[in-house]
Amino acid sequence: MVGYQDKLASVGVRVPEILLPAKGADYSKWAVVACDQYSSEPAYWERAAAAVGGAPSSLGLVFPEAYLEDGDAEGRIARIQAHMRDYLARGVLESVGPGMVLVERFTPFEAKPRVGLVLAVDLEAYRYGADSASLIRPTEGTIVERLPPRMRIRRGAELELPHIMLLLDDPERTAIEPIYAMRERLPKLYDFDLMLGSGRVRGWKLADPAALDRLADALCALADPAAFAARHGAKEPLLFAVGDGNHSLATAKAVWEEIKTERAGDPGLMGHPARYALVELINVYDEGLPFHPIHRLLSGVDEAELLAALKGYQKFEAERYPSPEAALAAVDSPAANRAHSAVATHSVACVSPKGALVFSFPEPKANLAAGTVQDFLDPFLKARPGASIDYIHGTESLIALASKPGNIGLYLPPIDKDGFFDTVIRDGVMPRKTFSMGEAPEKRFYIEARRITRE
């Protein structure tokens, strides 16, 4: 009889050994939001540091992207790695034993909680190239230039903390939801309010062999090639699609490939803990999981200059609105964006200190509005060395930043969640920074940790 470990291994999953803060820790200070959030708002991270004070915190174990250009990257990386060694040596973190973690996350914006399962995935089952046909696949293009600083952290790191969220295409809710239904029978690991008004989170340990076996059976059924072909018309199953943390998972993969090269011939190589990455798995049909577009913030660009360049790009219409909020509402309306239809239209709002416009592209060349925008922006920005781009997750953040002199915000339309997996299967990776699973405060907070070195 095949055990659950072997079943899980066949679909690229492993039961991890989780580390959590030792008894008595203040979890509200320990947990901080994913490092790729508030990348243009260092003030947020200053507030987080003030909330933490001198308490043990995952803030000392991650590199907020708001500080990537502060000139002290190497020093910060050294401090991160030193914090990891110190926390392990002093017992700040302790093992709760092998098991997955069932996570229930309440956010300020959704009526129902988001439910996920923290587990480890096999990096041998993942490839991040644009033509990937692996069991675990990216949903957006990987910018390889963004990997080196992340790789420098992971190479010398004792620990990993996940903000990676993988999506599961499980319309019948066969995998995660049955575990959530039995949550009150599982040992509770934590239950606390997240800092800075970001909601509440609860976690339970899943180590029961019978429950893990049922989970393994559900995942194997979803990955079955014949069943997958019947659902999606594709030969190669896509079991897990990367929802958040694309570059973090790519970093783990790149470092694992380095280790394989460096230690070729080591008989224990394939058992190395760095072969795996800790993630949270979420059903794409989860009722607490919102899908939001990721918006663009341009700096060093004038509205007139942008309009002039658009005229040479492709056919479009521009309509001015009385306020940013009105323009954004127009883009959010179902009639504003019609894609994959006989008459496709992409609409995008433009917000600047001069006011608000809506651009409509009646004959878009790309399948998604993010592609229409990015295909224009890439050559536009390349021709303007003084201009720059940032990717903004929140509506309020975009409006606030776009109101500053020299800035322009481009607001993209909603994402079709129901057709998400079919889009990835059909089109491959989406344009980079196409979608986000929720606003910035809804993103995953660092709580669990796992060792990625041999003790």
50-90 pLDDT, tens digit per residue, is 999 999 999 999 999 999 888 899 999 999 999 999 999 99
DSSP of 57-120: -GGGGS--GGGTTSS-HHHHHHHHHHHHHHHHHTTSEEEEEE-EEEEEEE-SS-SS-EEEEEEE
Tell me, yes or no, whether 57 and 138 share the same domain.
Answer: yes
* Of 147, 196, 155, 159, nearest in space to 37 by CA: 196
Angle at 418 between CA 415 and CA 423, to 5 degrees: 70
The answer to whether position 40 is within a domain reads yes
Tell me, yes or no, whether 31 and 180 share the same domain.
Answer: yes
Tell me, yes or no, whether 139 and 273 share the same domain.
Answer: yes
262-277 pLDDT, tens digit per residue, is 999 999 999 999 999 9
Tell me, yes or no, whether 103 and 242 share the same domain.
Answer: yes
Q: How many domains does the chain have?
A: 2
The answer to whether position 230 is within a domain reads yes
Residue 229, domain extent: 4-290+439-451
Asked if residue 286 has pLDDT above 80, the reply is yes
Rounded CA separation 432/216 (Å)? 32
H or E stretch at 295: strand 295-299
The answer to whether position 43 is within a domain reads yes
Tell me, yes or no, whether 14 and 68 share the same domain.
Answer: yes
Q: pLDDT-based confidence at 335, cuts 50/70/90?
A: low
Tell me, yes or no, whether 322 and 274 share the same domain.
Answer: no
431-441 pLDDT, tens digit per residue, is 778 888 888 89
Query: Rounded mean pLDDT of 210-239?
Result: 95
- Answer yes or no: are the C-beta atoms of 58 and 139 closer than 8 Å: no
The answer to whether position 142 is within a domain reads yes
- Tell me what the pLDDT averaged over the chain comes to: 93
How far does Cα 181 stand from its chain's mean position? 26
Tell me, yes or no, whether 18 and 127 share the same domain.
Answer: yes
Asked if residue 426 has pLDDT above 90, the reply is no
The answer to whether position 299 is within a domain reads yes
The answer to whether position 391 is within a domain reads yes
The answer to whether position 101 is within a domain reads yes
Tell me, yes or no, whether 300 and 394 share the same domain.
Answer: yes
Q: pLDDT-based confidence at 307, cuts 50/70/90?
A: very high
- Which residue type sits at 391? Y
Residue 324 belongs to a domain with what CATH number?
3.30.1760
- Answer yes or no: are the C-beta atoms of 164 and 281 closer than 8 Å: no
**pLDDT at residue number 215:** 98
C-alpha to C-alpha distances, 48 to 52, 195, 196, 442, nearest whole angstrom: 6, 8, 7, 15
Tell me, yes or no, whether 115 and 43 share the same domain.
Answer: yes
Q: pLDDT-based confidence at 337, cuts 50/70/90?
A: low
Tell me, yes or no, whether 161 and 181 share the same domain.
Answer: yes
**pLDDT at residue number 143:** 79
How far does Cα 70 stand from its chain's mean position? 24
The answer to whether position 333 is within a domain reads yes
More confident residue, 280 or 149: 280
Tell me, yes or no, whether 380 and 248 share the same domain.
Answer: no
Q: pLDDT-based confidence at 342, cuts 50/70/90?
A: very low
* Of 205, 200, 291, nearest in space to 244 by CA: 291
Tell me, yes or no, whether 234 and 114 share the same domain.
Answer: yes
**pLDDT at residue number 430:** 82
